[in-house]
Amino acid sequence: MTIEQEFFNQYRLMYRPFINQLNVQLEPYQLYSSQWAVLRLLKDKGPHSFVDIANFMSIEKPSVTKLVHKLVELGYVETMAGKDKREKLVHLSTYGEELVQEIKAHLSPFFEEALAGVSKQDIEIATQVLARICMNINQ
């Protein structure tokens, strides 16, 4: 087996245990990992339109509609008028802002334990490898 195959093998092998554990961590907040990904995006990079979110997450618009509507229902985000009458911008509510802060703190030890025994340098290298693959795959 080539080292490339080995890498992607490991990549995929990690996915389900990781997502399952992450969902356990998020359960107290009534969130699934996909919804959390939206909240994190809004926290890190400010308000986004539905199309922006779709592009960033590499999913389709109807999937965004569902995700955002669920987050609106929970009171974590709100929508407002965009740059024209078609566009809607999604942003965190005051409650959502606080909650994201709290969740980040709650997740922190989970992430640290998951990466226990890995040097900061190797984490950075691995992050860069993943980022590079994203770039290569999306042209």
Partner DNA sequence: GTATATAGTTAGCTAGGCTAACTAATGTAA
Partner DNA sequence: TTACATTAGTTAGCCTAGCTAACTATATAC
The residues binding a copy of itself (CB under 8 A) are 1-18, 20-21, 33, 37, 40, 44, 57-59, 104, 107-108, 111-118, 120, 122-134, 136-138
Beta carbon nearer to DNA, 51 or 104: 51
Asked whether the beta carbons of 128 and 117 are under 8 A apart, the reply is no
**Partner whose footprint covers residue 51, from DNA, a copy of itself, none (CB < 5 to 8 Å by kind):** DNA
Question: Following CA atoms 116, 125, 136, 47 in sequence, which dihedral angle do they give, to the nearest 10 degrees?
Answer: 70
Residue 119: CB minimum distance to DNA, A = 30
Q: What are the CA-CA distances from residue 14 to residues 9, 49, 106, 131 (Å)?
A: 9, 31, 21, 17
Beta carbon nearer to a copy of itself, 94 or 121: 121
**Partner whose footprint covers residue 125, from a copy of itself, DNA, none (CB < 5 to 8 Å by kind):** a copy of itself
Closest by Cα among 123, 103, 121 to 112: 123
Sheet holding 48-49, edge to edge: 48-49, 88-92, 77-81
Interface residues with DNA (CB under 7 A) are 16, 19-20, 23, 32-35, 37, 49-52, 57-69, 82, 84-89
